[in-house]
């Protein structure tokens, strides 16, 4: 089974499985195609976080997170969210593909070549594709902004030329990767071209920063939720926040509430608040080992017990806290041998920095804007440091075997959406398609609403929205199936060997099964 936010990417993964490839190999093909056909959410100039697992008990996390430039300086004011001054971190997505394939060869008998796996992406970049409704939405959403982004309109403003969107410079960069290997993005002629282009834009990144970029392989964080083991990536990601939410919810009997009701939504929202209050301490553990301790402390039984006791079922906790905004893509693959990959790729905000590296076709991320300029803050900008990261794909293990693969787009909305999905799947026994159709909430600011309100999807019944207001939530209604609520995906592996998968009805996502 393959799920992804774009049919062309899903088909690329399905083709790899049909040809005998494993889940990681299929995931690399999916990720490469997404880097072409979803440039508004991910690309070669971004990062990736992986969780992989199998029936033999292996579970690993690949943190493909770029580090801040060695020559970066901390600005006096806030870091800009667009332009060269936001291009402060290297891009590790491509290295994560290569790292994953090395793991595949060593552990899963992987034999597919990197060049073959990215060939569908090269063809789509060169020959073109029809932009998705998701891409149209975010292009129009930024219509007042993107004309000021250097070189952007020449490539991505496809509204002025209806039909296929071709990216010949990106195709050439991908071809160089196919010819010279994935590390050519970081060392060699392609790397030098990227470094030269970054310098031309005004970014502090250089060739040495690219060469220093490496994926970290680590153990995932774990939490038992009603007999199901949930896995999440460790710091500097917010995986601990997702697990903390679920740990708090495990202290409640959700059978006393129904999905989509005010009582259920209130409980999920209040659990999110309690977890987010602790999340600010999460940052790069390479620069402060206490960050690993902080993540572990969030998941201690006593901490979760105390957080659950602070939840009042009759009253909302005030919430004036700032939130993060970002966009990403989630995709997952399960192969016939039960080997699984759950992955998120991102360039941070929609369209990243808005800047394409000259001569390469690579749209660079603005992940540097996630750093703090406040001295003493855990996420304070330091050369070589990785920023706090919202990406947290998930895996659930039951009886020692992969059970669920899940993840979603949406920065701070990711743990919130995952709380809806996981309670629907585990507590309510829903199918992936049913869980993905459940109404969602989003606490805090969004691109279109700067109030710290509780955004509720329009599929929630009016009386439930009124009940949430009566509990003290500042409710703001948004349309049903709005892209603001993210695009999630789920794969469910049953005990009988059957597999179900679905991707979000809020986007252009698709799922494809494969049977021997």
Distance between CA atoms of residues 443 and 270, nearest Å = 10
- Whether 73 sits among the annotated catalytic residues: the reply is no
Distance between CA atoms of residues 233 and 50, nearest Å = 8
- By DSSP bridging, strand 454-457 and strand 475-478 are parallel
Tell me which residue of 14, 169, 17, 187 sits closest to 98, measured CA to CA. 187
Tell me which residue of 95, 55, 35 sits closest to 364, measured CA to CA. 35
Distance between CA atoms of residues 102 and 92, nearest Å = 15
- Contact call for residues 184 and 195 (beta carbons, < 8 A): no
- Contact call for residues 180 and 188 (beta carbons, < 8 A): yes
How many helices (H) and strands (E) would you count in the chain? 16, 18
Helix ranges (H only) for 386-431 are: 413-422
- Contact call for residues 213 and 364 (beta carbons, < 8 A): no
- Contact call for residues 469 and 459 (beta carbons, < 8 A): no
- Contact call for residues 336 and 514 (beta carbons, < 8 A): yes
Q: What is the DSSP string of 145-214?
A: TGGGSTTHHHHH-GGGS-S-B--HHHHHHHHHHHHH-GGGGTSSHHHHHHHHHHHHHT-S--HHHHHT--
Tell me which residue of 334, 327, 274 sits closest to 303, measured CA to CA. 274
Tell me which residue of 491, 492, 489 sits closest to 509, measured CA to CA. 489
Tell me which residue of 341, 288, 365, 326 sits closest to 61, measured CA to CA. 341
What's the CA dihedral at 445, 348, 405, 100 to 10 degrees? -160
Distance between CA atoms of residues 413 and 347, nearest Å = 16
Catalytic option among 89, 257, 328, 360: 328
> Is the link from the previous residue into 379 a cis peptide, with omega within 30 of 0?
no
- Contact call for residues 9 and 33 (beta carbons, < 8 A): yes
Q: In what order do the strands lie in the sheet with 59-64?
A: 216-218, 59-64, 47-53, 340-346, 328-334, 2-4, 510-512
Is residue 133 helix, strand or coil? helix
CB atoms near residue 176 (< 10 Å): 18
Q: Catalytic amino acids?
A: 328
């Amino acid at each position: 089974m393959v799920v992804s936010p774009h049919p062309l990417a899903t088909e690329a993964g399905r083709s790899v499985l049909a040809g005998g490839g494993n889940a990681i190999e299929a995931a690399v093909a999916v990720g490469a195609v997404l880097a072409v056909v979803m440039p508004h959410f991910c690309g070669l100039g971004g990062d990736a976080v992986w969780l992989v697992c199998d029936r033999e008990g292996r579970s690993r996390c690949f943190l493909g997170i770029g580090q801040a430039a060695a020559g970066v300086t901390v600005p006096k004011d806030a870091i800009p969210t667009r332009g060269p001054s936001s291009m402060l971190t290297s891009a590790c997505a491509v290295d994560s593909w290569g790292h994953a394939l090395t793991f595949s060869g060593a552990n899963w008998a992987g034999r597919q070549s990197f060049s073959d796996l990215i060939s569908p992406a090269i063809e789509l970049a060169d020959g073109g594709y029809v932009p998705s409704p998701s891409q149209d939405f975010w292009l129009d959403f930024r219509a007042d902004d993107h004309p000021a982004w250097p070189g952007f309109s020449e490539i991505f403003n496809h509204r002025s030329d209806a039909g296929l969107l071709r990216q010949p410079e990106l195709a050439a960069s991908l071809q160089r990767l196919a010819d010279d290997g994935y590390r050519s993005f970081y060392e060699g002629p392609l790397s030098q071209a990227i470094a030269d282009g970054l310098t031309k834009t005004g970014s502090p990144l250089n060739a040495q920063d690219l060469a220093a970029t490496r994926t970290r392989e680590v153990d995932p964080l774990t939490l038992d939720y009603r007999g199901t083991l949930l896995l999440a990536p460790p710091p500097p990601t917010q995986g601990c926040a997702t697990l903390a939410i679920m740990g708090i919810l495990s202290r409640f009997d959700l059978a006393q509430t129904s999905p989509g009701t005010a009582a259920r939504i209130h409980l999920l929202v209040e659990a999110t608040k309690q977890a987010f209050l602790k999340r600010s301490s999460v940052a790069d553990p390479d620069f402060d080992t206490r960050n690993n301790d902080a993540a572990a402390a969030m998941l201690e039984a006593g901490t979760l017990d105390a957080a659950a006791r602070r939840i009042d079922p009759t009253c909302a906790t005030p919430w004036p806290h700032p939130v993060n905004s970002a966009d990403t893509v989630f995709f997952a693959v399960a192969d016939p041998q039960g080997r699984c990959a759950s992955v998120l790729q991102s360039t941070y905000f929609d369209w990243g920095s808005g800047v394409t590296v000259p001569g390469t076709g690579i749209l660079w991320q603005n992940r540097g804007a996630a750093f703090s300029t406040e001295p003493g803050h855990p996420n304070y900008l330091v050369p070589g440091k990785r920023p706090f990261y919202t990406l947290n794909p998930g895996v659930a293990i039951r009886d020692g075997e992969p059970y669920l693969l899940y993840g979603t787009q949406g920065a701070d909305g990711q743990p919130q959406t995952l709380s809806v999905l996981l309670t629907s799947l585990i507590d309510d026994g829903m199918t992936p398609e049913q869980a993905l159709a459940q109404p969602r909430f989003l606490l805090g600011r969004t691109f279109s609403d700067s109030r710290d309100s509780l955004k509720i999807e329009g599929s929630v019944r009016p009386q439930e929205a009124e009940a949430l207001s009566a509990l003290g939530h500042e409710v703001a209604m948004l349309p049903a199936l709005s892209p603001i609520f993210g695009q999630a995906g789920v794969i469910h592996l049953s005990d009988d060997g059957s597999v179900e998968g679905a991707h979000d009805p809020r986007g252009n996502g698709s799922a494809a099964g494969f049977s021997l």
